[in-house]
Structure formats: C-alpha cells, structure tokens
Structure 1
C-alpha cells in the first residue's frame, strides 16, 4: 500500500462488513459450550476494545493471548485490533521458560489467559516488568481480573481505530523448533490478502460453509482456517478447545457436520488408522478438506479419498507468509505434490548461488506474497536473511515439474547428498509408510565408517506389527519404490517421533538419537 492509502482496519473487513451485509443474526462461532452470532461478536469486540482502553493500553502496544479455542479468542483478538492494539496469540503448549521469553520479548502490557492454561504462567507473570494486568477467561481469576466480569459494564460500541493498511495488526510467533520463537509482525492488509487469494480462489469458501479446523487459532494456518476465511464470507465456525485427537474430531464432525475440515498430515493418518473409529465417515456435509504444516504423503491422501469420498487440498504455508501460498486445487489434485502457486503469489526456485534452477532440479523456494510479514521483531539479521525485498525465503527445498507442479523435497537444513545426489528425507519417509507395518517414519543423515552420509530411518510401527526381521524388508521396499541409493542403511524402531505443536517432525532431535 502507498503512504497515501486511506484508513483501513482489518476488523471492518472481517467483522463489521458482515453486519452491514445483514448477517447480524447469523451464527459466527460455537465452541460446544457458548455461541456468538456476528452481531454478538461485534458487540463483544467493542467491549474488549473499551476494556483495553480502560486498562491504559495504547495504540500499537501489545497484549498477549494464551487462550484455548473458545468464543473468547475471536472476541479478544478482534477487539484488540479494533482499538489499534496489537494482539499476540501464543502457542498454548509452550513451557514456562518459553512464555517468560516471549512475554518479555513482545513487552505485552496485558495478558489474556484461559483458566486451564494459567498454571503454566502463574510463576512467570510476576517477573514481567512490562506486564501490568492479567485477565482470565473462565470461572476462576486466580486473584487477577475475570474477563466475563470485566466486560459486563463495558459499552458495546467503539469508534474503530483509523489504522493504516501497512500498520502492524497482530504478531504471530514462529514455532521455534530449532530455538526460541521469533515474533513475525503482520499487517492489517495481510488478513484480507489470504482470504481473497487462497480462501476465495482455491478453497472456494462460501457463506453456507461450516468450518472445523484441527489447527488452533494461535497458528497461522489455524487463524486463517477458523477466523479469516469464514469471517470473510460470513460462514460459521466450530471451535475445539480440546486436543485434536481422532476421537474428538470425529465427535465434532458427527455433531456439527462441517463442510470444510482443515487438518494436518499426522492427524489425517491417525484418523485413518484408529481401529476403534473405522466406521466413522466424517459427517454428511463434508465437501473439501485441506492439509498443511508438512507435506501430505500420497498414500494418506489416496486412503482418505477412498474412505471419505472427499479430496484433501494439500498445500504449504508459513508463519512468515500467514497462510498457504502453494496448493492443490479442486479439479487439479495430484497427491504427492504441493500443487501450483496460489493466485496472487509468485514463486521461484533458486540454487545456493541465488540463480533460478531448471525444471527437475532441486532449489530453495522463494515466494513473492501479498500476505508477507514485515519482519521479525528485534531480529534484524534474521529478517534480512528471510525477507529479501519482494521475496521471502521459505527454507523449503522443492522440485518444479514441467507441468508447473511443485514437489516437496524437505527443509533446506534436512536435505543431504548421497553419492553426490540430493536425498529428500520426506521422499524416503513417504516410501517407508507405504509398507503395511509402518505408521510413521523420520529420516536423517548418518555418517558411515568412511565418514560419508547415508540415510538413517526411525520408524513407528502399526499396532501388532513385529520389529523382528523387518529391517531388510523395509530396505528392499524403499529400493523398489524410489531408488537403490536412497534406501535407509540403518533402521531404528521407536515408540514416538519428536514433533512440534503443529505436528512437524523435529528431525534435528533425531540426529543425535531418538527423543
């Protein structure tokens, strides 16, 4: 946007527009306990904005959110943005030390926290020099302020702050899988950018859709799924405050009959392989599913389609770019690929020297995105390495096929060469899980006796499978699937694989042995 752009607040686009278009009484959210129509959500967001001003929080200052997916989350998130205050949703699975780091890093003036999550921060909040107030969502305030009580006497109208399209609207912290999380600053214009590209032109979201996301609202993926996208068209969203286990997700699907289900590869695989839930078919209205977080194995996509009769649109996104920028699309799906660039996004594949690579060659994926963050908070050197003018480095290695589809190879720091040829851990893992005994797999480089790198696999077996004598069968299976030089020279059976809260395998933790 130019410096002369008129005032623009993301809440006007996401929420107030729905009221103007006659959806005041339309159900916006249910969290299985409480419900909010669009009109009620607008009034709640105004009360939150007034509360923040009463607490002395000023425009551009930050408020942190450690909140479960309930109707209080969109109320607080949108209320802060309405006031020109910057909400910072945080991962609900962090440790106390990580919360201490992030709260100090973002200098939050107020912390909104769900009652069930307060124990994780109770020993932290008193040490935060910038934190002046804690507001608890739930029944027990633990000696702090209770959100429901604080909002009772607040006015339900508010003059929305005349923010700028390029003004920071909210921050999201990266997963921090290899270190402390980094704060990504996103702008007011970024939310609409994802809605008008992926949600509208790929997903085809509609006003009559009912949305259910396994990914939580504090994730970039979940925020789009359960807030930006449905609100952009006036759809209804089911919020799940619990862990997204197969049993929980099937229960919600059978009760609410979502038309769009947003998942991640590990959950799709778990839902397919849960022996006690084999008869579940995911509700009556399901029309499309999406996947992100990690590449979806071809075997999982095909099995899901065969059982549920619904396609999974596999795509790739990032916290830095807010949502999916490369995706399969309805009528243009090939499992095992990440599809094509989302309309409105440009992509390049470059080698180590920064030159574009040809079709069929491995390169790092760079994206020119209308939804890119403006950088990391207080991390200038990392910002300069990631955000290069129009282009954002994703850290993902891809191959572009002649038909324009992109095939995921792995993270740049996970890829390695065997006999001078790039090996994709994801490709080997995808081959391994097609064996009937293997549920999950992770592949890392290991040095042999001569100091040369070769693939080593860690596998989680399906229930009832025996590890005895399995190594040679799995090696041969991979050779037949993807090539002789790519097979794992060593195979170790483990009970679980280390993962981030988003379900991404933390391969770096396996390089020195399993977690």
Structure 2
C-alpha cells in the first residue's frame, strides 16, 4: 500500500509519479477529438492550478464542475487538487433547481461547465451568492471566461501544494435516488486506497491496459474507472462525452479496442438485446468487464459471457466509500452474487439490533473501508447515522453463504414483508427479466384491499413481446422461479423505468406513482 500519512497530495501519486517513471510521452487520455499524454496532462493541471490562483481561489475552497467526459475534465479535477483546492464534480443531468441547490450547498467560488451544458445553468449563475466566476469548456464562452483561452497565458509550472493525507481533496454528491443529493467529502488518501485494493488486487490493472467506462467521471464508479485506476499504473483511457447507448459503446470498442470495459447492468442488458447491434463484437483485446451501480442479474452475466467470452465482475460500491468493496474476481465468478470482500476491506451483516447475523440470514451491510469519506457536508445527523467509527452503513440488505459470498437482497428501504416473510424486490425483478418477453423490471410494495403489502411490478417489454395473456403468464412464471408468495399481484407495462443518471432504478418514484394512481392490472 502507498504510504499516505502526513504531507501528501493525490496528484503526486496519480500523475507526477508517471512522469518520474518515464511515461511523459505515454497517451493518458483520448476523447475522440483531443488527446493528452501524461506529460501534457501534467502541464495542463499546472496551468489550471495557476488559473485558479489568479482567480483568487484559496486552498480548501470549492470549485464546481458540470463537465462532460473530455480531456478537460481530468485537467480541471487534478489541477484543482494540485492547488489544494477542492473540485466538486456534479451530475451532468440535473435540473436548474438541483444545480442551484448544490451550488449553494457547496459554496463554489468558480464553476467550470461544458459548453453543451451551459444552457442548464444560464438562468441561475447570476443569483448564486458565492459564485464569482464561470469558466466554459468549449468554443463559446457565453460572455464568461473560455477555458482554452484562459489557460494559454498560464505557466505550466506550479509548486504542488503540500496537502495532508487526511485533508479533503474533492467532494462527490450522492446520486439522489431518494431525494436531494448529499455532498460526500473525500480525502487525498482515498483515491490511492481504491487503486491499491480493487484496481490492482481484483482487476489486476496494467500499464498496457486501455480503459473504457460507460459510467461518467462525475460518478464515484466512473471516477475510479477512468481516472484513479488507469492513472495509478500509467494506462490509457478512452473518454466518452455522449450518452452511453449500445451503438455508441460498440463504436468506441471497435475504434479503440479496450482491454477493460466498465459498465452498468442496464447497459449490459441493452447491449445484449439491441437489434441494431446484434452482430457487433466487443473487441479482441477485451479481457475483463466490470459492473456496479445495481446488482447484475444472473441471466445478464451468463448471456454476456456466452456472447463475448468475457466475464463481468459484478461488485457493489457507493459514493460514500468511493468505489467497489464487494466483488467477484477473475477465476472466481458466481453470477447472481456480489462476490467477496475486496482485499483491504472488512464487512459485517447486522440485524436491526446491530448484532451480526449468521450465514443464510439477511442483514444490513456495514463496511470498514480505507476509502470511506469523512462525512456529509452540512448533514451532521445523516453523517452520524451512516459513518459509525470504522464502519459505514451502506443501507443495502445482503445475505452471506457458507463460502463467504454475498448476495444482494435490496435496499433497506425497499425490502418489505409478505405473509411475514421478507421479500427482496431485486429477487422478483431478476426472475421477471429471465422471461423472454421482459427487458426490464422494477418491483415495489403495494397495499391490497386488506391493507397488506404485496409485490407490484412495472415492466418494460421487448419489442417482439406477445402481450396477450402475458400478465397471468408472468405471475405463474415467478411463482415457479422463486416462490408462490413472491409473485407480483399487479403488473403494469411502462415505456421506461425512472432511473438516476448512473442507472439506478428510482423505486421511490414508482412507489409514489403507485400511491397516486392505484393498482396496476391485477
């Protein structure tokens, strides 16, 4: 493990070390339009640091980033940290009101925003009391400062600030699947902690790897995939500024031939079932795929391996813990499970009383992690409920088998009892999507005429699905797959499921809609 006690700046570990080890000319990033070698990236981060100093931003103050995945993102993110300033990458799909909330919450002095995303904030930037400057990445500054022009006059030499290993380095806002996002404060030491554990001991990432992540850099999973992990070994990363559709991802695979592909369950399923891409392959160099964000259905894992000959390493991580802490591993894959604890992480399953549960019993997952954030910004009560000394509460319900593998059962606030027995929405959803007519499914509790909770399913059908008699067929199908009491009493067909930008199903919206609209078809 890299020593990260005392004076330590994460940029030295991630970037400058590559220069010291002779990778100045090695390609670090390409975004299909621009490229940066490690040497050029170092120079750009120094220019950004000098720019921020000229703009009057001081150590420990925040700068917000609403930026697409281009080479400007790592330049700004690392440049701010080099100066001891705290970058705050934000979800690029928020509404103006949500941006106003987050910008006010983090009190950003400067906002870096991609040209294509500026319209989403143009009406609010003038009323943010702490925001003093907007810098636009692109060709049109909209009356503000243009990043490329501002950097031209800055020096490519900067004395990296001697930050502390335990000093906040960056913030990430939670995806907000259950409400307004919370700002998680991460430390300079957290980045190396994920690279030296998951990236090196599970992925076995190498200098000759080419990495492609569907998850964006503003997301904790994507930040590790496309910044921390490849830079920790001097690998090359392909950035994608577009929406990660099957067509886009297959085109990037064909062009750049990545060796590691980081996806999410909904994308893997969409790539498998996209008719327009049914003859596409995944590249000859591809040696490993990973999945996070939500549990990977067993059927999707098997289908991907059968088609592409490469396993998907399903794992679970969180914004609070920065990246994956439970994972399957090469040569040790069991689809349907989240695998085992990542080396360097300890986990517990506890009941409502806080006592450890036995194998085969459902409990809430707690993690002792070297990458845990130090808490939520201005959310003391929530911080105390989540960060309990060494242990971080995940809010996930899991069961552990006798072999030490962990299987996801659902979020603590998604689980409910039917006839006195816990039901996992994920288990019912996993059964539904194995039916040939169902593409996606989400399950929530719904009260019947007696006021008792029963499963209600929202499904997205495949294009060629036969709808006649399907509801009753699906109910019988689930009964046979996982148990009579678990089948959905109501099934509602929808065009799409509500999701966060990171692909997580927002079941709370379905619960709210169900309460407002009543039962689906019984």
Same fold by TM (over 0.5)? yes
Residue 472 (structure 1) shift: 1.3
Give the stretch that moved more between structures: 459-468 or 143-152.
459-468
In structure 1, the partner of 2:370 is: 370
Residue 223 (structure 1) shift: 0.1
1:241-273 deviation line (CA, Å, top 9, x unaligned): 000000000000000000000000000000000
Please give the residue correspondences for 1:142-181 in structure 2 after superposition, counting only pairs within 5 Å.
Answer: 142-181=142-181
In structure 1, the partner of 2:443 is: 443
Residue 104 (structure 1) shift: 0.5
In structure 2, the partner of 1:79 is: 79
Measured in 1, the distance between the counterparts of 2:55 and 2:463 equals 54
- 1:185 pairs with 2:185: yes
In structure 1, the partner of 2:275 is: 275
SS in 1 for 2:112: strand
Residue 18 (structure 1) shift: 0.2
- 1:393 pairs with 2:419: no
1:151-177 deviation line (CA, Å, top 9, x unaligned): 001000100000000000000000112
Residue 497 (structure 1) shift: 0.7
1:312-345 deviation line (CA, Å, top 9, x unaligned): 0000000000000000000000000000000000
In structure 2, the partner of 1:298 is: 298
In structure 2, the partner of 1:65 is: 65
Measured in 2, the distance between the counterparts of 1:21 and 1:512 equals 55
Measured in 2, the distance between the counterparts of 1:6 and 1:266 equals 42
Residue 465 (structure 1) shift: 1.1
Measured in 2, the distance between the counterparts of 1:471 and 1:483 equals 17
In structure 1, the partner of 2:459 is: 459
1:14-54 deviation line (CA, Å, top 9, x unaligned): 00000000000000000000000000000000000000000
- 1:249 pairs with 2:243: no
Measured in 2, the distance between the counterparts of 1:507 and 1:178 equals 9
Measured in 2, the distance between the counterparts of 1:353 and 1:51 equals 52
Measured in 1, the distance between the counterparts of 2:467 and 2:491 equals 10
In structure 2, the partner of 1:47 is: 47
- 1:105 pairs with 2:105: yes
In structure 2, the partner of 1:261 is: 261
Mapped contact 1:467–1:493 kept (Cα < 8 A): no
SS in 2 for 1:335: coil
Please give the residue correspondences for 1:321-470 in structure 2 after superposition, counting only pairs within 5 Å.
Answer: 321-470=321-470
In structure 1, the partner of 2:520 is: none
Measured in 2, the distance between the counterparts of 1:120 and 1:494 equals 28
For normalisation by structure 2, the TM-score amounts to 0.97
For normalisation by structure 1, the TM-score amounts to 0.99
Mapped contact 1:29–1:237 kept (Cα < 8 A): yes
Residue 6 (structure 1) shift: 3.0
SS in 2 for 1:248: helix
Measured in 2, the distance between the counterparts of 1:94 and 1:513 equals 21
In structure 1, the partner of 2:508 is: 508
In structure 2, the partner of 1:26 is: 26
1:357-416 deviation line (CA, Å, top 9, x unaligned): 111001000000000000000000000000000000000000000100001000000000
Residue 133 (structure 1) shift: 0.5
Residue 292 (structure 1) shift: 0.1
In structure 1, the partner of 2:212 is: 212
SS in 2 for 1:513: helix
SS in 1 for 2:178: coil
SS in 1 for 2:154: coil
1:474-508 deviation line (CA, Å, top 9, x unaligned): 11111111111111111111111111111111111
Give the stretch that moved more between structures: 482-491 or 299-308.
482-491
Measured in 2, the distance between the counterparts of 1:512 and 1:159 equals 53
SS in 2 for 1:140: coil
Residue 451 (structure 1) shift: 1.3
In structure 2, the partner of 1:117 is: 117
> How much is the aligned-residue C-alpha RMSD, in angstroms?
1.1
1:48-67 deviation line (CA, Å, top 9, x unaligned): 00000000000000000000
Mapped contact 1:268–1:300 kept (Cα < 8 A): yes
Measured in 2, the distance between the counterparts of 1:504 and 1:74 equals 25
Measured in 1, the distance between the counterparts of 2:259 and 2:46 equals 30
Measured in 2, the distance between the counterparts of 1:229 and 1:387 equals 25
Residue 178 (structure 1) shift: 1.6
Measured in 1, the distance between the counterparts of 2:177 and 2:394 equals 15
Measured in 1, the distance between the counterparts of 2:72 and 2:430 equals 39
Measured in 1, the distance between the counterparts of 2:303 and 2:510 equals 28
In structure 1, the partner of 2:498 is: 498
Residue 467 (structure 1) shift: 2.2
Measured in 1, the distance between the counterparts of 2:198 and 2:135 equals 35
In structure 1, the partner of 2:312 is: 312
SS in 2 for 1:511: helix
1:97-148 deviation line (CA, Å, top 9, x unaligned): 0000000100000000000000000011100111110000000000000000
Measured in 1, the distance between the counterparts of 2:173 and 2:199 equals 22
SS in 2 for 1:131: coil
Measured in 2, the distance between the counterparts of 1:510 and 1:466 equals 24
Measured in 1, the distance between the counterparts of 2:454 and 2:177 equals 24
SS in 2 for 1:422: strand
In structure 2, the partner of 1:198 is: 198
SS in 2 for 1:29: strand
SS in 1 for 2:513: coil
SS in 1 for 2:28: strand
